[in-house]
């Protein structure tokens, strides 16, 4: 009964790909319902010998895997990591789910393994277990790091999260060099360039496979526009470009679907909606009053982007999402969030056409965000280069 309730919820809350050519894939609810009748056996046993006391590997299996992709989540025991792991466990495209964190993985792994869906779950903790977690991964999702408290900007997280992302991505380069990498840890505008530099240094950089996850901005834009215009949310699709911090977040309301809604926005509505979309992360940080930032909506958004990436790997040719990727759509910005087509190799195409025919307001906002985003990109690149020089001296 509970399974049916969850499946129904996922069907109504995910854009329908039949209606939205550019929408994300829906979770396959029918498969989820069917899988609820699978029997499962739980084994909790060490998979590798313990190299050191601090490193452990926990394997817990439930049923036979019928999906075909291995997904690793780094930071899996956190506020985003846990619900994201649950949503990934529900995906019919995931056959193996590897959970890594520096704390509390054992409990999350045991708990999740009791869901009788096909994906096999294994938990990994401690630096020595990271290689085993990553080995053979098709997609690595990184929500590891610290989060904002009221009064902080995302850039205030740089001093801690830069090092976390650098080290985790270095391990990805060593142990899963062919994986798609989804970076969630903030500040995304800088952590993605950091990841790119690390991958370059390791000779494992393929720009088509590195993504900053900005799906939450699209999810929010769709929700807010649907509510404002009284539209079914499944009909709404708003591209959001630029970056993922304050004024660098640029919703292109003139390009929203349905087109009739986009045409009907007044100037005041555009400004109000754009401000709400940009400040939505802060809205959650303040509402949680020190207890965290967006976790549930972020897990939902990350699961949507994960499912889209897996459908791309699986050969579907209708998979489009906005993401922060390397591109030349704005020549002075080596990284920019834009609609991309996803395929077997990751990014197949960056849809530069989305930036043509902007309204005066959008064109002004784009000019305004350029120096801000450039500064964040440069900061990330400099961080890796300076640390490399320091290591050499
Ligand atoms: P959280 O503190 O609840 O969880 C973070 C997890 O990372 C913790 O379990 C922690 O143990 C783990 N961790 C820390 N260092 C690690 C390391 N070296 N290796 C592995 N795991 C490590 O935070 P959260 O709410 O899950 O948010 C995580 C990050 O995601 C934050 O930086 C936050 O700002 C960011 N975020 C991004 C978006 C986005 O749209 N991209 C949205 C929301 C949050
Ligand atoms: C968000 O947009 O919710 C995240 O980037 C988290 C934050 O700190 O706002």
pLDDT one digit per residue (tens) for the chain, 393 residues: 233 333 323 322 333 333 333 333 343 333 333 333 322 222 222 233 333 334 556 555 433 333 599 999 999 999 999 999 999 999 999 999 999 999 999 999 999 999 999 999 999 999 999 999 999 999 999 999 999 999 999 999 999 999 999 999 999 999 999 999 999 999 999 999 999 999 999 999 999 999 999 999 999 999 999 999 999 999 999 999 999 999 999 999 999 999 998 888 999 999 999 999 999 999 999 999 999 999 999 999 999 999 999 999 999 999 999 999 999 999 999 999 999 999 999 999 999 999 999 999 999 999 999 999 999 999 999 999 998 877 666
Q: Which of the ligands is closest to the CA of residue 77? A: 1
Does residue 23 line the site of ligand 1, with CB under 6 A? Answer: no
What's the pLDDT at 8? 28
* Closest listed ligand to the CA of 81: 1
Nearest-CA residue for atom 4 of ligand 2: 281
Class of domain 215-372: alpha beta
CA of 12 to the centre of ligand 2 (A): 24
Q: List the beta bridge partners of residue 339.
A: 322
CATH level 3 topology of 63-213: Rossmann fold (3.40.50)
Q: Judge whether 244 counts as a catalytic residue.
A: yes
- Determine which residue's CA is closest to atom 43 belonging to ligand 1: 294
Buried b (16+ CB within 10 A) or exposed e, 183-197: bbbbbbbbbbbbbbb
84, 18, 27, 7: which is closest to 237 by C-alpha? 18
Kindly report the protein residue whose alpha carbon is nearest to atom 35 of ligand 1: 185
Residues whose CB is less than 8 angstroms from the CB of residue 70 and which lie 6 or more positions away in sequence, other chains included: 94, 95, 96, 97, 98, 136, 137, 138, 139
Residue to substitute in 76, 134, 144, 335 for testing ligand 1 pocket (most ligand atoms within 8 angstroms of CB): 144
d(CA 282, CA 295) in angstroms, rounded, equals 13
Question: Rounded to an integer, what distance in angstroms lies between the CA atom of residue 388 and that of residue 358?
Answer: 41
Centre of ligand 2 from the C-alpha of residue 301, in Å:
12
CA angle, corner 340, sides to 249 and 316, nearest 5? 140
CA distance 173 to 193: 15
Q: Give 371: exposed, middle or buried? Use CB within 10 Å, 0-12, 13-18, 19+.
A: exposed
Q: Which residues contact 333 (CB under 8 A, 6 or more apart)?
A: 370, 373, 374, 377
Which pLDDT value is given to residue 371? 98
Rounded Cα–Cα distance for residues 393 and 387 (Å)? 10
Spatial neighbors of 115 by CB under 8 A, at least 6 apart, are: 62, 86, 89, 90
List b or e across 215-236, with b for residues whose CB sees 16 or more CB atoms inside 10 angstroms: bbbbbbbbbbbbeebebebbbb
Give the other-Cβ count within 10 Å of 246's Cβ: 16
Candidate from 298, 300, 301, 324 with most ligand 2 atoms within 8 A of CB, to mutate: 298
Distance set, CA 357 to CA 33, 255, 361 (Å) = 44, 9, 11
Question: Phi and psi (nearest 5°) for 315?
Answer: 100, 5
Nearest Cα residue to atom 1 of ligand 1: 78
Residue 312: the pLDDT is 96
Q: How many residues does the chain have?
A: 393
Return d(Cα 319, Cα 211) in angstroms, integer: 15
Q: Residues 217, 240: contact at Cβ < 8 Å?
A: yes
- Cα–ligand 2 centroid distance for 318 (angstroms): 28
> In this structure, which ligand is nearest to the CA of 292?
1
Contact predicate 372/153, CB 8 Å: no
pTM of the model: 0.88
- Domain regions of the chain by residue span: 63-213, 215-372
Cα–Cα distance for residue pair 145/110, rounded to 1 Å:
23
In the chain, % helix, strand, coil (3-state, to 5) comes to: 50, 15, 35
Cβ of 216 below 6 Å from ligand 2? yes
Which atom of ligand 2 is least distant from the CA of 157?
8
Q: Does the beta carbon of 148 lie inside 6 Å of ligand 2? A: yes
End-to-end CA distance of the chain: 62
The residue contributing the CA closest to ligand 2 atom 1 is 281
Mutational pocket test of ligand 1: of 77, 130, 145, the residue with most ligand atoms within 8 Å of the beta carbon? 145
Ligand nearest to the CA of 279: 2
Please give the full DSSP string across 271-337, using - where no structure is assigned: HHHHHHHHHHHHHHHHHHTTS-S--HHHHHHHHHHHHHHHHHHTT-S--EEEEEEE-SSSTT-SEEE
The 3 state secondary structure assigned to 348-369 is EEECHHHHCCCCHHHHHHHHHH
Residues 137, 98 contacting (CB under 8 angstroms): yes
């Amino acid at each position: 009964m509970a399974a049916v309730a969850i499946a129904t919820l996922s069907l109504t809350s995910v854009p329908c790909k039949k209606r939205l050519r550019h929408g994300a894939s829906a979770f396959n609810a029918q498969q989820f319902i069917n899988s609820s009748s699978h029997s499962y056996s739980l084994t909790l046993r060490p998979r590798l010998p313990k190299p050191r006391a601090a490193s452990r590997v926990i394997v817990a299996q439930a049923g036979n895997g019928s999906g075909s992709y291995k997904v690793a989540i780094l930071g899996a025991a956190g506020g985003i990591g846990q619900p994201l792991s649950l949503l990934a466990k529900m995906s019919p495209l995931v056959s193996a789910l590897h959970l890594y964190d520096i704390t509390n993985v054992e409990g999350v792994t045991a708990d999740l393994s009791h869901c009788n869906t096909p994906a096999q779950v294994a938990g990994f903790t401690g630096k020595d277990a990271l290689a085993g977690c990553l080995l053979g991964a098709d997609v690595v999702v990184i929500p590891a790091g610290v989060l904002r408290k009221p009064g902080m900007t995302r850039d205030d997280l740089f001093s801690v999260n830069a090092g976390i992302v650098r080290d985790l991505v270095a391990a990805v380069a060593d142990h899963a060099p062919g994986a798609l990498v989804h970076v969630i840890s903030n500040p995304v505008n800088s952590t993605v360039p950091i990841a790119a530099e690390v991958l370059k240094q390791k000779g494992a950089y393929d720009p088509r496979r590195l993504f900053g996850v900005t799906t939450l901005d699209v999810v929010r834009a769709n929700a807010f526009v649907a509510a404002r215009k009284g539209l079914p949310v499944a009909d709404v699709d708003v591209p959001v470009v630029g970056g993922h911090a304050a004024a660098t977040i640029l919703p292109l309301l003139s390009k929203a679907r349905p087109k009739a809604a986009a045409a009907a926005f007044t100037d005041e509505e555009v400004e109000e909606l754009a401000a709400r979309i940009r400040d939505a992360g802060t809205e959650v940080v303040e509402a949680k009053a020190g207890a965290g930032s967006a976790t549930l909506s972020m897990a939902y958004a990350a699961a949507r982007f994960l499912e889209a990436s897996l459908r791309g790997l699986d050969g579907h040719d209708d998979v489009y999402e906005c993401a922060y990727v390397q591109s030349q759509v704005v020549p002075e910005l080596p990284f920019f969030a834009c609609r991309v087509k996803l395929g077997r190799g990751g990014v197949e195409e960056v849809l530069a056409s989305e930036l043509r025919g902007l309204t005066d307001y959008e064109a002004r906002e784009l000019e305004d965000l350029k120096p801000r985003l450039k500064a964040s990109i440069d900061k990330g690149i400099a961080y890796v280069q300076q640390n490399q020089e320091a290591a050499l001296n």
